Structure 1
Amino acid sequence: MRDLRLPALGAVAWIGALSGPVLVGETAFPRPVLGAALLLLVALGLALGVARRSRATVAAVVAVLLGAAAVAALHAGRVGHNPVAALAERGTLVRVTAVVTSDPRTVVGAHATEELVDLRVRAMSARGTNYRLSVPVLGLGDDSWRTVPLGATVTARGELVEADSDDVAALLVADDPTVTDEPGVWWRLSGRLRGAVRGAVAHRPADQAALVPALVDGDDADVSDTLADDFRATGLTHLLAVSGTNLTLVVGFLLVLARWCRVRGRWLYAVGAAGIAGFVVLARTEPSVVRAAAMGTVGLLAMGHHGRQRALRSLGASLLALLLLDPGLARSVGFALSVVATAGILLLGPPWRDALARWLPRWAAEAIAVPAAAQLACTPLVAAISGQVSLVAVGANLLAEPAVGPATVLGLLGGLLGLVWAPLGALSGTLASWCVAWIITVAHHGARLPTAGVGWGTGPLALLVLVVVCVVIALGAPVVLRHRIAGAASCLVLVGVSLVRLPTPGWPPDGWVMVMCDVGQGDGLVVSTGSHSAIVVDAGPDPDPMDRCLDDLGIRTVPLLVLTHFHADHVDGIDGVLAGRRVGDIWTTRLQDPPEGVATVSRASVAAGVVPHPAPYAATATVGDVTLQVLWPTADSPTQGPGDGSTANEASVVLLVVSHGLSLLLAGDVEPEGQAAIARSVPGLHVDVLKVPHHGSRYQDESWLLSLHPTVALTSVGAHNDYGHPAASTLDPLAQAGVRVYRTDQDGSLAVVGSSGGPVVVTH
């Protein structure tokens, strides 16, 4: 019988780490849910103990639960109750001496680009008082922080404000830092090697040059948003971050070299330990790297004699150790996905592999079973987070997997050789980039398949159904896969559902007036003008989501395309609107800025044989049953701008649309000044539906939005965007005023339907 006591104790420690901060009131985690989980795990632990007739097991369950909760409570109290947290509550100006504990992360805001960096404050002076302490804070500053190396000690002045996270004591809005102490020798060596890995592929195309360092050491700073989106849609995101796979490949390669050099016995363990330590230094000692090192070590153990049983015990022990050392990992989505994926591979992978191996070569059976098991195990958690299920993830991982190992090893060799002789490193880097070119191709084409992201509810019932489905598949797969015909048929079904668009019963709803397409971080609105015909307002940042949305709605003719302004998140998807459809006219804003967006629209419109022209201010147009009026910008507004993003937003075309008795205000990204001008030119304006300006940015004329008295407010916004959209300060006042608020990142595409009681919103 498989011994699951250590994995069970790891799960109990996880719940204990979640419960500690709640019990002392340091987090808003829902107590009823936690209480139910606690009772369930205690019951499972007691049942396990009774089944084994072991009082020791029962005692261990209780001890681990209480111990993890106590450690987590102490950790939360230490972070939440200290001089830094107290001064942050009052927005105090301070001078700090701190150690940089992470690489800077660029955050693109609405009006500026800033850098986020993790700091550990060692000393602080404020209001004439000096403090000596060791407290984690989050630093926010300008580009000067990009050049500060990890491990350096810096001094900086700034303002302490309260942080949103329970893991740091405060947010430090900092001035330029001064480095007072350089990083230690290990950090300098790590920095040189990371730089050598980047240098080895610097001559290759941008996406390839960005992906190789991401595979080798998790350095994803140069990965484009487009590539990251493609990886996310195809279930390949784990390749862009430090994961257990990275460590397994790197350390496994070192062990192969060691065996080739005739290293045997316990010395192999020493080589493995040194490799793990070196990898952690190379990839940085951040929580995600420590997590990856633990999961990678479990993976290495699984390769040895009696590996599966040893790996399961090691997984439980790793959970215990990590959660006792850093209870904050219990709330980390990345940690949860790593653990669940590793457990899925260990528990589901072997029986699936053995079943497939009855009629497939063992290497092929392993290649199919491992990604399938990991993906199935993670599916409920991914659905709970994103509201989507990817049906192409298994196939994408299966196709990409053969290139991951060579790319990682060759990329690391490129860095090592580059330290000796740059041309030799570039040669190895070129070979690595050829490997990642295949991975990029898989991600790019996989993300464009119709089932790359199938919408799934995040409610309790929807997730329960998904869990039940996954359990049935997990238990039934070995029975089905061991038979050649049934197994081959299952694989063909998986391929088929990946390539064929699934039917969406009930979508679009009958009588729909407008649909806000879920195009990510951008706008794409469709106003029905009759059978298979619609006005389109903005095209989103990517042609494929816009094209899919219009296909789902059955739109073949676009009598009018309105592009509110030329930012990429509103115009880069124009090819998706034009693909296979007749477009009658194109309206744009008067302000021809930014130039890149203007060029995109010009190229696409020339190809379609349509000449864009500025939307006529104050003019009223009728298309089918739809009447629309241009409220902004005015006829005397400028046609050229200074290249400032805020100016382009301000020039957004604002439309008042009336259809089937409903009035809709489509406000583009217009800024507060423009909103105030519209309020003056159209006093007393009331609407049924408000498209919230600028994706719900905090920069709004709140009094004007509330004066519109909308019944429904819709916000088009991308999940996990870097802009802080939508802002609570924008949506909360609307909700408090009784407005029904919807957003595409949580609700998917939104259809407005007319009814006798006003607008009704149907989510997709």
Structure 2
Amino acid sequence: MPDLRLLAPACFAWLAAWLAVAAPDAGVPAWALATACWSAAVVVLALRAAAKLAWPAGRPSRRSVTVDVLTRGTATALAVLAACALVATAAATALDARTASPLAAAAGEFRTARVVMELTAAPRSMPAPWSHDEAVPQLRVEGRAVGVDDRTVAGVAVVAMVSAVRDGLQLGTRLTFEARVAALPASEGAAFRLRPIGEVQITSPPPWLRWSAGLRVGFADAAERLGGDGGALVPGLAIGDTSAVGSALDEAMKASSLSHLTAVSGANCAIVTAAAFAAAGALRVRRTLRVVVAVAALVGFIALVTPEASVVRAGTMAVVVLVAIAVGRPGGGVAALCLAVIVLLVVDPWYARDYGFALSVCATAGLLLLAGPVARVLARVMPLPMAAVLGVPLAAQLACQPVLVLLDPGLALYGVPANLLAAPAAPVGTIVGLVGCLLLPVLPSLAFACLQLAWLPASWIALVAHGASELPFGRLPWLPDGPGAILIAACTALALWLALERRSSPRLRATAWSMLLLALAIPVGVLAGAPAITAATRPGDWSVAACDIGQGDAVFLRSGGQVALIDTGPDPAALERCRSFLGIDRIDLLVVTHWDADHAGGVDAVVGRVDTMIHGPLDGTRSSRVLDPLVGAGTVAVEVVAGHRGSLGDARWRVLWPEPGVPPGNDASVVLEVDTPAYTGVFLGDLGEEAQTRMLVGGGVGPVDLVKVAHHGSADQSDRLYEVLRATVGIIGVGADNGYGHPTERLLELLEETGTSDVRTDRSGTSLLTADGNGFRLWSERAAGDVGARP
């Protein structure tokens, strides 16, 4: 029987951390939660002491059972409250440090600051929609600000975007640059977002960290020589480096529930610590020294793979187990996991809101608690060895599914079979690949031979992923967000109870079966009925439709029986859903404001449906990828500059920007002014502050009823432009959890100051605006009402 005494403290500590880090966003001081937890702990401690004084140990009493229950209950409550108080105090202290940071003053005053940033993780390449220049892709770097305006400060978590052509960026690297600063919500792991301006100075990390980058790069280069998907997967299996994994393979791994194989987890850490412990044992050293060697090897491995949430969780759990071994009290896996969770939440309370951390903990808990029972159930219908092998991925999948539903509201139906097929190959590829990585600096020929061996299981995993992802009906839609997670957890619990508890009464089992079938029918009914209900309530006289296509823009206009589309968003499937939902078949005018993928990546959804397209200056291959299929399908494409005019039904449109000669990019966005009998509007694309100011100086810009806010609500805005426009409604095309802090607090305050009501696709979903001559009626997937009114 596993030791579950620390389970309740770990779960409540997680909840306390989750609430504490978000408390300031709700206007509640984090210290209030911490104080409440400490106060409750003191009360429980006093009750426990009073009970011991009233009924001392050893004195006969008729109430001995009551006393025993009270003693045990107060002990559990005290452990829970102490854990909650610790994490809440850690969160409140960290939030105070954010507020006291000089970066907070820089963000509040909208000024730049000179920042020294120390990287705490390996840089991540940003996908195409966020890279505004394909020749110079962007890297997302995370770290701590250790210096601001030439003075040392207590490190606070920050995130920044830098050019990917910069070499030498790794764990421990220091970057020094002038930056614009934006404060992020308290619930975000990073306190501030930095936008570097000008040159970025790079300082190499200390020697004890410098070795890891060279080894990672050399390993990636050697694996690249293997070729194919197998060569791309070997670094991922061995050290979690997925930089070589292409988009097609990445999608296939996710669709088949195999992406966890390229995330460093407890299995990788267990291999390293066990190997180091065994090697030290072969030298006949004392147990304490063996533990020290194993911990040192683990620390080096974490530095090599970079301290992601799952790696830190696995490493902390391994250290807990090793310390227990060192003191001669080896603990159970569940106890070690719970203690690791509490320790990590005290160190960094924002882990409570990290999906990677949650998946890592759930997968480990599933293996510790469910793998055995699930294997016993499967053994009823198959040989025990096969049941044991299948029970491992099934247990992990069941435990992780509520979290996975929060990320993607759907169930991968072939996930378990795919994991069963890949399971024998994964440890081989991991161990042999890791050995090859470690041997590379000293025995390169032998190391490459290991990589060649690891290529075989890696290729098999890639083959399984592609095969499973291409099977029909591979994904079952499910309810999104919290209700979907709770429902799948309830279904899982009921199914496990029915499978494991065979001695219950037939009536009770029949009731449980009825509840399970009812729970499974809920998403079917909701998902089937919701579109019909939505279609029935959708207004038929809408004027402007802002599509919810994630982080990007796609806005339909309708006037006099004709339709225009301004930008296509990043995803053809998302745009196709919106187009079908609106019942639009032909598009009379397509406006591609500029060539970034978050504005033009969804063009495939409208190829063959567009009569005329207007666009700004061409941008080589990027513009060709958009134009070629459209022109090939019969669309007439016209490059426009400021002054071009045209009509759309009863409306008239005019191009306000760009001026002739402006180079392609955000500041060459086509800005369209639309004048209809019912409203006027301006659509700003991704125009930045400098270009907005130049457009304003050029004249011809006046008050409007509607503005499509520039660049998803970034801070790069001209206050004066919005003061001149004084729109009643501002549309913001923005994705939920976009990671860029869009829309910024500065932009939202600017809209409020100018009397502009914001309509955000991340909160409202697809939104339809109907102009009635006095303002706009708003219908959206999540809200409805009137927005704005003409003075």
* TM-score normalised according to structure 2 size: 0.71
Distance in 1, matches of 2:96 and 2:167, equals: 28
The amino acid of 1:519's aligned partner reads I
Between 167-176 and 521-530, the greater mean CA deviation after superposition: 167-176
How many Å apart are 1:733 and its aligned residue?
A: 2.5
How many Å apart are 1:738 and its aligned residue?
A: 5.2
Structure 2 residue 139 is matched with structure 1 residue 147: no
- Equivalent of 1:389 in 385, 409, 412: 409
Specify the alignment match of 1:6 in structure 2.
Answer: 6
- Equivalent of 1:759 in 777, 783, 790: 777
Specify the alignment match of 1:291 in structure 2.
Answer: 313
Asked if the contact 2:559–2:648 (Cα under 8 Å) also holds between the matched residues in 1, the reply is no
The amino acid of 2:168's aligned partner reads T
In structure 2, relative to structure 1, the CA distance for the partners of 1:75 and 1:432 (3 Å cut) is: same
User: SS of the residue aligned with 1:213?
Assistant: helix
Between 101-110 and 707-716, the greater mean CA deviation after superposition: 101-110
Distance in 2, matches of 1:722 and 1:702, equals: 24
Uncovered stretches (5+) of structure 2, i.e. residues with no partner: 46-64, 324-330, 503-512, 783-791
Specify the alignment match of 2:50 in structure 1.
Answer: none
The amino acid of 1:516's aligned partner reads A
In structure 2, relative to structure 1, the CA distance for the partners of 1:576 and 1:418 (3 Å cut) is: farther
Q: Which has the larger radius of gyration?
A: 2
Q: Deviations over 1:629-660 (max 9, x none)?
A: 133346x733xx54x534xx42425252749x
The amino acid of 1:610's aligned partner reads T
- Equivalent of 1:603 in 605, 617, 628: 628
Specify the alignment match of 1:645 in structure 2.
Answer: 665
1:567-586 counterparts in 2 under 5 A?
A: 567-578=596-607, 582-586=608-612
Asked if the contact 2:715–2:744 (Cα under 8 Å) also holds between the matched residues in 1, the reply is yes
1:478-627 counterparts in 2 under 5 A?
A: 479=498, 504-508=531-535, 509-511=538-540, 512-527=542-557, 535-578=564-607, 582-592=608-618, 594-614=619-639, 617-623=643-649, 627=651
User: How many pairs are equivalent?
Assistant: 717
Asked if the contact 1:245–1:296 (Cα under 8 Å) also holds between the matched residues in 2, the reply is no
Asked if the contact 1:590–1:637 (Cα under 8 Å) also holds between the matched residues in 2, the reply is no
Specify the alignment match of 1:715 in structure 2.
Answer: 732
Q: Deviations over 1:155-191 (max 9, x none)?
A: 968789796487789889797557588422xx35544
In structure 2, relative to structure 1, the CA distance for the partners of 1:372 and 1:503 (3 Å cut) is: farther
Specify the alignment match of 1:320 in structure 2.
Answer: 342
Structure 2 residue 654 is matched with structure 1 residue 630: yes
Structure 2 residue 679 is matched with structure 1 residue 656: no
- Equivalent of 2:491 in 468, 472, 483: 472
Asked if the contact 1:356–1:482 (Cα under 8 Å) also holds between the matched residues in 2, the reply is no
Distance in 1, matches of 2:528 and 2:352, equals: 37
Distance in 2, matches of 1:434 and 1:514, equals: 54
Specify the alignment match of 1:242 in structure 2.
Answer: 264
In structure 2, relative to structure 1, the CA distance for the partners of 1:126 and 1:427 (3 Å cut) is: closer
Between 54-63 and 111-120, the greater mean CA deviation after superposition: 111-120
Asked if the contact 1:571–1:597 (Cα under 8 Å) also holds between the matched residues in 2, the reply is no
Q: Deviations over 1:557-610 (max 9, x none)?
A: 3344332222232223222322xxx42423132411x21222102331244243
User: SS of the residue aligned with 2:207?
Assistant: coil
Specify the alignment match of 1:694 in structure 2.
Answer: 711
Distance in 1, matches of 2:213 and 2:262, equals: 19
1:147-546 counterparts in 2 under 5 A?
A: 147=168, 150-151=171-172, 164=184, 179=203, 182-184=206-208, 187-203=209-225, 211-220=233-242, 238-239=260-261, 241-248=263-270, 254=275, 276-285=298-307, 289-294=311-316, 310-327=332-349, 329-360=351-382, 370-371=392-393, 373-381=395-403, 388-392=408-412, 395=415, 398-399=418-419, 401-402=422-423, 404-422=426-444, 424-429=446-451, 432=454, 436=458, 442=465, 446=469, 458=481, 463-464=482-483, 466-477=485-496, 479=498, 504-508=531-535, 509-511=538-540, 512-527=542-557, 535-546=564-575
In structure 2, relative to structure 1, the CA distance for the partners of 1:396 and 1:71 (3 Å cut) is: closer
Uncovered stretches (5+) of structure 1, i.e. residues with no partner: 302-308
Asked if the contact 1:17–1:72 (Cα under 8 Å) also holds between the matched residues in 2, the reply is yes
In structure 2, relative to structure 1, the CA distance for the partners of 1:358 and 1:74 (3 Å cut) is: closer
Q: Deviations over 1:700-748 (max 9, x none)?
A: 2334335444444322233444554332222333245554423334444
Asked if the contact 2:21–2:349 (Cα under 8 Å) also holds between the matched residues in 1, the reply is no
Between 138-147 and 514-523, the greater mean CA deviation after superposition: 138-147
Structure 2 residue 69 is matched with structure 1 residue 53: yes
In structure 2, relative to structure 1, the CA distance for the partners of 1:477 and 1:76 (3 Å cut) is: closer
Q: Deviations over 1:9-62 (max 9, x none)?
A: 222443555677899x899667799699979x99xx99xx98972625523532
How many Å apart are 1:389 and its aligned residue?
A: 1.2
In structure 2, relative to structure 1, the CA distance for the partners of 1:432 and 1:503 (3 Å cut) is: farther
Asked if the contact 1:71–1:324 (Cα under 8 Å) also holds between the matched residues in 2, the reply is yes
Specify the alignment match of 2:52 in structure 1.
Answer: none
In structure 2, relative to structure 1, the CA distance for the partners of 1:436 and 1:761 (3 Å cut) is: farther
The amino acid of 2:660's aligned partner reads S
User: SS of the residue aligned with 2:532?
Assistant: coil
Distance in 2, matches of 1:170 and 1:540, equals: 27
Distance in 1, matches of 2:12 and 2:657, equals: 59
Question: Structure 1 vs Structure 2: percent identity of aligned residues?
Answer: 29
For the aligned residue pairs, the C-alpha RMSD in angstroms reads 5.7
Asked if the contact 1:615–1:630 (Cα under 8 Å) also holds between the matched residues in 2, the reply is no
User: SS of the residue aligned with 1:600?
Assistant: helix
Asked if the contact 2:547–2:555 (Cα under 8 Å) also holds between the matched residues in 1, the reply is yes
Distance in 2, matches of 1:256 and 1:501, equals: 55
Distance in 1, matches of 2:460 and 2:529, equals: 27
Distance in 1, matches of 2:98 and 2:679, equals: 54
The amino acid of 2:665's aligned partner reads G
* TM-score normalised according to structure 1 size: 0.73
Between 701-710 and 4-13, the greater mean CA deviation after superposition: 701-710
Distance in 1, matches of 2:671 and 2:182, equals: 37
How many Å apart are 1:693 and its aligned residue?
A: 2.0
